[in-house]
Structure 1
Amino acid sequence: MAPISKETGENLLSSPKEEAAEEFERQQVQYEDLTVDFNDKLIDFSKQFCHIYSVRLAELKAILIPRIIAKWGKVKILKLAELEDFEGQQCVIVGTLYKHQKWKPSILHELSEDYQLTLPELRSNYCSEKDQLFLEDEMLRIRLLIEDAEMKNYVTGIVCAILGHKEKDGNFVVKEWCFPGCVPKSSLTQLKSKGKLLFLSGLDLANNSKSLSLGLLTEWICGMAGNAIVQENATCIVQIIIAGNSVKTVTKTNTLMGHAEGKAQDAAIANEVAVATTLLDVFLAEIATCCCITLMPGQHDPVNAMLPQKPLHPCILPLTSRFESFKGATNPWIGKIAERVIMGSSGQPIDDIIKATGATDISPLDWLERTLFWRHMCPTAPDTLPVHPYSVKDPFIINYCPDIYFVGNTDKFETKLWRGEENQVVRLICIPKFSSTNLAVMVDIETLDTEVIYFGTSTP
């Protein structure tokens, strides 16, 4: 041990000097919810789901026509009923893609399984070698001839224009594609606000409530962890956006092992959800005292399953719902924070696209980017993704160019600064599940730079 001098020893024994603790104030920024198209007044359960395809095609077709002329010049734009007279001639057809897949979820399949007429087959996706691609307009449907390797790039529900020609056998040979493209920027206003946004998803309090990482996260947000520099960095956060699955990340969790199927398991699930929801309320209430929160529901949270999912009811979160700093949001959600348009989902639209394509070599970030080109947040709805039966308007058509576009509950963190043809700049983000990665994503409002913060107890 190194010797201690008399002077050093006196310093160690002396009483600490009283230093004034630094105080940091969290900045307040403008907040606006842009999900007016998710209004319940537009939902009519007496209507069939086909109406949503009709209004989707009508709106996006009007956007496609000038893009077709700009891309291919003066080319014939025909309806499918007119192709009979132009066999073999190059032309453009506009419609909605339909991907015929034998293994897609079907109510008829579910009924047959209930009556044990066929044995259910567990599959990770809906794809097979017999998949076929069609294009539909208001009246007819035609089969598209494309390379087998290209089949994985398309899903049901995409509105597009196709350059090609009809063959004698009635099929349409595809030469080129044209999609609606990303929405142009409405205005390039100078940002007046500064600050950072914190993105979380997949908290899974049913299994993760006693996690040390969750405690570290709470202390860091509330400014009770780290030195003055760390605390000042935390106060830069002006909004926390939680993208779903805060209660659970899977339907059946480890705590339900050993319960028989039926009423016993249903009771165990209900009890587990109730306990986890109470823990979530306490967790959010502690954070809401010092920071603004936007909470989106997820696939396994106690809300309706059909998109757009409604916010968690205030009665479920009695402590948190009293705070003005807390905002319950829909899933998907669109909002404006400090002049930045933010849009995203808790993961279901991208997960369903991956199931429909079976493309393991294409990351969720790439699919997120493609939905910008398709100008639709969840094209596979209502084919394989449950949504409300909208008949007047398709609320999932992208009408804003987002500054930040995210998807929650992914297996890993990914990000990209995407630049469009008309000078659009969009920060794309895959937000990982916090319960399995202990990661949170912070985005600078001014520069759109991202930073990953790790709250684990071991090396990431």
Structure 2
Amino acid sequence: MADSLLAPPQHGCKEYSKLERRICTCEDLSSRFRVTSRRFTQQYSQIYAVRLMATRPVLERAAKKKWGDDIFIQKLMDVKTGLRCCVLGTLFKAMPLQPSILKEISEEQGLNPLPAQARLTSDEDCLILEDESQRIALTGVIPVSKSVTGAVIALVGQELSSGRFEVEDYTYCGIPPQDIISLDSCLQQGEDRFVLLVSGLGVGRSSRDPLPLQLLIDTVSGQLGGPFVQEMCSKIVRVIVAGNALSEETKVDKKERGSKLLTRKVDAISCEAVKELDELLTQLASCVPVDVMPGANDPANYLLPQQPFSSCMFPETAQYSTMHLATNPFHSVIGGVSFLGTSGQSISDIYQFSNTENRLDILEHTLVCNHLAPTAPDTLGCVPYFKEDPFVIKNCPNVFYAGNQPLFQSRFVIGDEGQQTLLILIPDFCKTSTCVLVNLRTLECQPMSFGSELTGIEEECLQVKIDGAETMDKS
């Protein structure tokens, strides 16, 4: 019996070929998101001036392209009542429902914390345009409910006798110019290579089902799945973890109130969660390069851009050269394809302060505005830059993504100058058990879901679904 079990396959059995991990070149272009100076003495007002200065040439070209070269562009201080002109500036959205610490401490009824709301818009919201010289209130065709503070915009209209500027039409910067793709030789020869995008691993969550995440790791490492899945996963050249690798529950220890992330005197629950995350990332980094971005729930700085994790948090994974601790936002070029994305804070913030229902529309809007986080620093914390705004998008990426979203969505957008960008909303893996595969050769993406279902009382069936294709292994 033992001899028959250890004997080579009989005649007619298909011999399994050994699969090797494919590779692609990768370049980190996130140096502008690295904070070199930690001085916080300067004011935030300068960042708006720098933002407008950086985008003004692009905005002027967009205005002339839409309304003609003879359009009269003026600063707000030179606007004449009744004279039709074009003005450029930064939007400010006055919102009565926007939380204000000054309002809370000045009103007696505001001492108690207000309940959290999903949307903070109201019919009383109004827009104000601001440039280097002054401000002016807006009226007219501009959509107040869908606009947010911090977006740079060009307006055509005239000043009314009431002092308001009546908007006839408006335009944003538009999709920025895009560099020509120089693909790796393997992609030019027609071979497929994939990048796996995942976010919201949620390690440390008490109600988390650990099975889908382990299925993901086993599938990527080639220990699970049939020939089709293993062949596809061998072509995954990189994994990007787009924030929230830890659960929100790890922020504060329930037993020791005030025990925050990785404190010295109190053993916070995040310590065990980080240890578990290190073990999981070790399994991934042992077979494929991994980029790990911090998120809102992770033990990193709160202000954007978030800096990379400290390597001392991952003593096991840090031994692998394939482990790369990245910033948030993160910009990289993989196989000649440009990837730019965030862990999703900017998209969630715009969703809360506008009436735009489709988050994919919000992601596209940030690209059209040429800015990764237009609501920073008004409602989204960021470092008080005064010389440059690193969130300005000067070159259009090939793949533009946002992590930790409620569901998977994707869209292919084409600019007026032929720019081609794939927009992706990466779902929260802890809630959806879904990640995203991006084909570097075709810029197509597909969801990849993991789960289990009971097909009998004592039989469990593990499932891996890739864009309709399904593989099934019984345990």
Flag whether TM exceeds 0.5 (same fold): yes
Q: Which amino acid aligns with 2:439?
A: D
CA-atom RMSD in angstroms: 2.6
Structure 1 residue 189 displacement after superposition: 3.5
Aligned partners of 1:159, 1:48: CA distance in 2, in Å?
20
Aligned partners of 2:161, 2:171: CA distance in 1, in Å?
24
Does the residue aligned with 1:59 lie in a helix, a strand or coil? helix
- Name the CA shift for 1:37/1:265 in 2 (closer, same or farther; >3 Å): closer
Does the residue aligned with 1:343 lie in a helix, a strand or coil? strand
Paired residue for 2:123?
129
Paired residue for 1:34?
29
Paired residue for 1:93?
87
Note the 1:31-110 alignment, pairs <5 A: 31-41=26-36, 44-73=39-68, 74-83=70-79, 86-109=80-103
Q: Is the 8 A contact 1:167 1:173 kept in 2?
A: yes
Aligned partners of 2:283, 2:41: CA distance in 1, in Å?
43
Q: Which amino acid aligns with 2:299?
A: P
Aligned partners of 2:353, 2:203: CA distance in 1, in Å?
30
Aligned partners of 1:375, 1:441: CA distance in 2, in Å?
25
Structure 1 residue 401 displacement after superposition: 1.0
Paired residue for 2:214?
215
Q: TM-score, normalised by structure 1?
A: 0.89
Aligned partners of 2:365, 2:233: CA distance in 1, in Å?
33
Q: Is the 8 A contact 1:243 1:346 kept in 2?
A: yes
Aligned partners of 2:155, 2:248: CA distance in 1, in Å?
39
Does the residue aligned with 1:63 lie in a helix, a strand or coil? helix
Q: Is the 8 A contact 1:42 1:393 kept in 2?
A: no
1:369 and 2:364 correspond: yes
- Aligned pair count reads 440
- Name the CA shift for 1:188/1:200 in 2 (closer, same or farther; >3 Å): closer
Structure 1 residue 116 displacement after superposition: 7.0
- Give unpaired runs (5+ residues) of structure 2: 188-192, 454-462, 466-475
Does the residue aligned with 2:36 lie in a helix, a strand or coil? helix
Counterpart of 2:9 (choices 8, 13, 17) is: 17
Structure 1 residue 249 displacement after superposition: 4.2
Structure 1 residue 153 displacement after superposition: 1.6
Note the 1:152-171 alignment, pairs <5 A: 152-171=145-164
Paired residue for 1:178?
171
Structure 1 residue 120 displacement after superposition: 3.1
Paired residue for 2:438?
443
**Identity fraction in percent:** 34
- Name the CA shift for 1:321/1:265 in 2 (closer, same or farther; >3 Å): closer
- Name the CA shift for 1:75/1:265 in 2 (closer, same or farther; >3 Å): closer
Paired residue for 1:3?
none
Q: Which amino acid aligns with 2:36?
A: K
String of CA shifts for 1:120-164, please: whole Å, max 9, x gaps.
32222322221110000112100000359x212210001111001
- Name the CA shift for 1:269/1:205 in 2 (closer, same or farther; >3 Å): farther
Note the 1:420-435 alignment, pairs <5 A: 420-435=415-430
- Name the CA shift for 1:246/1:112 in 2 (closer, same or farther; >3 Å): farther
- Give unpaired runs (5+ residues) of structure 1: 1-11
Paired residue for 2:380?
385
Counterpart of 2:279 (choices 258, 282, 303) is: 282
Note the 1:289-300 alignment, pairs <5 A: 289-300=286-297
String of CA shifts for 1:378-411, please: whole Å, max 9, x gaps.
0000001000011100000002211110010011
1:272 and 2:269 correspond: yes
Q: Is the 8 A contact 1:43 1:391 kept in 2?
A: no
- Name the CA shift for 1:127/1:23 in 2 (closer, same or farther; >3 Å): same
Aligned partners of 1:178, 1:161: CA distance in 2, in Å?
5
Aligned partners of 1:315, 1:265: CA distance in 2, in Å?
15
Aligned partners of 2:113, 2:404: CA distance in 1, in Å?
27
Aligned partners of 2:267, 2:245: CA distance in 1, in Å?
16
Q: Is the 8 A contact 2:337 2:398 kept in 1?
A: yes
Does the residue aligned with 2:150 lie in a helix, a strand or coil? coil
- Name the CA shift for 1:260/1:421 in 2 (closer, same or farther; >3 Å): same
Q: Is the 8 A contact 1:43 1:389 kept in 2?
A: no
Paired residue for 1:7?
none
Structure 1 residue 57 displacement after superposition: 0.6
Q: Is the 8 A contact 1:44 1:390 kept in 2?
A: no
Q: Is the 8 A contact 1:244 1:298 kept in 2?
A: yes
Structure 1 residue 188 displacement after superposition: 4.3
Q: Which amino acid aligns with 1:279?
A: E
Paired residue for 2:233?
234
Higher relative contact order (CA 8 A, sep 6+): 1
